[in-house]
Structure 1
Amino acid sequence: MTKQTAILAAGCFWCIESAFNLVKGVISATSGYCGGDAADANYKMVCSGLTEHAEAVLVEFDDEVISYTEILEIFFFLHDPTQLNRQGNDIGRQYRSAIFYLSELQKQQAESLIMQLTQQAIFAGPIITQVVEAMPFYPAEDYHQGYYNENPNQGYCQFIIAPKMAKFADKFSHLIA
């Protein structure tokens, strides 16, 4: 096993964390915060918009089972990378689309995939996902971890996350453990 790490921001971290935790080869997906200028991060601080952190997910995976590019393909499927500082009704820099790369190779792979998706005109508008060097990642509070699985009847989970999970399960059934 060759353990790798990806840090991805795609709006609300509950959505992508729940999907990645189903993927073959993913060891863990942890909701948290990345990309800010404060020395620490918590939900209240990040929601204020003053720290510059984004809600992000740290994905640890076995690259002998799933590649970094496949992780990125799932990431792009799970959100709209053409929206600046928002995902649907979640508005603010904390909901931006970003890939926090941990190596030059990850940066190159992310930029290459963005170029491919742009050439294929997969999205209605230009991809504005930031590709930036990783900054410290701060795990979110315990109640955010596995939020969708723990709260499937909560309104946000039913109306926002559940439909995304259904589309994800349909498109990526071959990658679900």
Structure 2
Amino acid sequence: MKVKETPLNDCYIIEPTIFKDDRGYFFEKFNEKKFEELTGMNGHFVQDNISKSSYGVLRGLHLQKGEYAQAKLVSCLEGRVWDVAVDLRKDSSTFGKWFGIELTDSNNLQLYVPRGFAHGFSVLSETAIFSYKCDNYYNRDSEGSVYWNDADLKIDWKLAIEDIILSEKDKLSSTFKDENF
């Protein structure tokens, strides 16, 4: 496992060591001890979520607040997604900045998104199956969301506007300035 820093504080790209032969390949998707040694971050995850989405679906930007804040380790199991993390920690030198990376079923990269961040992704392939490991349990009363097309963030979602498909909930998100982090 290799860990690469992103431009955002405490947000990391996790690249597995892949062993290939004529039968296929094998890799260790996650190892809590190695993760903690390489990042200094808590790697204890308590909930795994999977979503399947069609081309153009944009999920985000989602967050959990307060005692239910969540760190996530995310990956794309099938297809291609453009994955985005936004630092919402007001005391961070990267507050209000975002980072995006393409996660695919062929690059096997993962992104570690720490607590205090918003997260979202857009689907670039016909379909995508996306995996989230969370270090805290979901709590509906603690959820928040920042509008995907926020003028202050200026995120490039790698999709044409007319191709973007949003949930009703994501259409009602707050702006970056209005969200109470």
Q: Same fold (TM over 0.5)?
A: no
* Higher normalized helix content (fraction of residues): 1
Normalising by structure 2, report the TM-score: 0.28
Normalising by structure 1, report the TM-score: 0.28
Q: Which has the larger radius of gyration?
A: 2
